[in-house]
Amino acid sequence: MTIDHRRLGRELDIFDADPLIGAGLPYWLPAGAAARHEVESYLRELERRAGYQHVYSPVLGKRRLYELSGHWDHFAQDMFPPMDLGDDLVLRPALCPHHALIFKARARSYRDLPLRLAEIGGMYRAERSGVLGGLSRVRAIWLNDAHIFCPVDQIGREVAAVLRLMRRAHAALGLRVSSYQLSLRGPGAGYAGADAAWEQAEGLLREALDAAEVPYAAVAGEAAFYGPKIDVQLADPAGREWTVSTIQIDFHQPARFGLSYTDASGAAAEPVMLHRSLVGSMERLFAALLETHGGAFPVWFSPVQIAVLPVGADQRAAAEDFAGDATEAGLRVQVDTEGSLGARIRHAAGRKIPYLAVIGPREQAGRMVALRLRDGRRLPPRAQPEAIALVAAVAAARSTELAPSAG
């Protein structure tokens, strides 16, 4: 049976939707929010360690902003109409115009470059109702986005660094890259900028892919309106491909916004703008994660990491104490006391919880816990602090295994 993230998302309380909110506007339930928060925190820390600076920018902008960026001319059919509030305000279809203005807001020197600005920010696309579905195609999008401003001679190493960062993120999330695509212009109009800039950008991306020894297919007609891009395709268990990660070179917007920095000779120079997303939008990412893992997320971002199951009412206080200690250690824990032990074990298995901590009279007496793993293994009873340390170590390592060092 084909795994469907829409079914899993509802069964596991990851997300849902309501017609009063509208099509393509899912909401995240507590379990989904917990998993998403963990992934977002990981991405921000990964980026911070790689030299990115994080910003926040508003989801609205004047129509004039998107006319200047080129989105209004090339992307208007995918944008929501302006709101007349004295100014024509538009829900943004992309974050790049805001980041261009953040760059422009301060004087920049060549010593400041590359400047890497990152944000998990909201944007909106006026998708037609017929193409909407679950989390994979939505109207309200939270994008793991970043823009790197640099001279031309830094493009190669910046693209290579992004490719390495993507690999780290994909490995931690348990995603499998199936192919790389170099997305180029197609025939006809609809693209911004001069031919020479496009040819230069295409050449630079080819060089970066070749230097990284990454096999790729060049596909015409898949470029962004302002420049060519590398699209990283991820495969799900059914063999379907998702475009999740992307790197794009943009000579167009820096020129349109009049971006500049002072070079080593003291002259004004124009930066290149690299658009980059390690994992795409949170919505499409979690659609892929649900289907890739069948809802059984790696321990580090599982909504609940340990289900604590007291055998009887006499062990309830001991279960609460163990849960409190595990929570203090930074783990996400729930105590389940409703129904028979067998029913609670089945319920936890259905929710794909990685660890079941069973506490019976013997475990209670010795401050022990019996761990059952999601994959069916049972570990020997161990001291409660040791059990907590095991789960915390697996989560901290962002391992896709449940207990690689346990026996």
Q: pLDDT, tens digit, for every residue of 38-47?
A: 999 999 999 9
Answer whether 69's CB lies under 8 Å from 253's CB.
yes
Q: How many helices (H) and strands (E) does the chain have?
A: 13, 20
Domain with CATH 3.30.930.10 in the chain: 5-293
| Cα torsion 92, 40, 100, 197: sign | negative
pLDDT at residue 75, as a whole number? 86
Per the listing, tokens 């989105």 go with 71
C-alpha–C-alpha distance, residues 78 and 400, integer Å: 38
Domain with CATH 3.40.50.800 in the chain: 299-396
Residue 145 has what DSSP assignment?
A: E
Whether 406 shows a pLDDT value over 60: the answer reads no
Nearest by Cα to 358 from 392, 323, 391: 323
Answer whether 356's CB lies under 8 Å from 378's CB.
no
β pairing state of 229-235 and 177-184: antiparallel
Q: pLDDT, tens digit, for every residue of 71-124?
A: 998 888 999 999 988 889 999 999 999 999 999 999 999 999 999 999 999 999
Residues 6+ apart with CB under 8 A from 342: none
Structure tokens at 63: 């129509």
Q: What is the CATH number of domain 299-396?
A: 3.40.50.800
Structure tokens at 74: 């090339």
Specify the fold of 5-293. BirA Bifunctional Protein; domain 2 (3.30.930)
Answer whether 107's CB lies under 8 Å from 43's CB.
no
Answer whether 346's CB lies under 8 Å from 352's CB.
no
CA atoms within 13 A on the CB side of 385: 0
Nearest by Cα to 47 from 59, 39, 35: 39
Widest Cα–Cα separation across the chain: 78
Q: How far is CA 132 from the centre of its chain?
A: 19
Give 240's pLDDT tier (boundaries 50, 70, 90): confident
Whether 387 shows a pLDDT value over 90: the answer reads yes
C-alpha–C-alpha distance, residues 253 and 146, integer Å: 15
The length of the chain, given as a count of residues = 407
> What is the enclosing helix (H) or strand (E) of 64?
helix 63-69
Nearest by Cα to 131 from 85, 78, 174, 177: 78
β pairing state of 355-359 and 306-310: parallel
Higher pLDDT, 10 or 193: 10
Give 212's pLDDT tier (boundaries 50, 70, 90): confident
Average pLDDT score over the chain? 93
% the chain with pLDDT above 70: 99
C-alpha–C-alpha distance, residues 316 and 359, integer Å: 9
Q: What's the whole-number mean pLDDT along residues 283-304?
A: 96
Residue type, 197: A
Answer whether 324's CB lies under 8 Å from 349's CB.
no
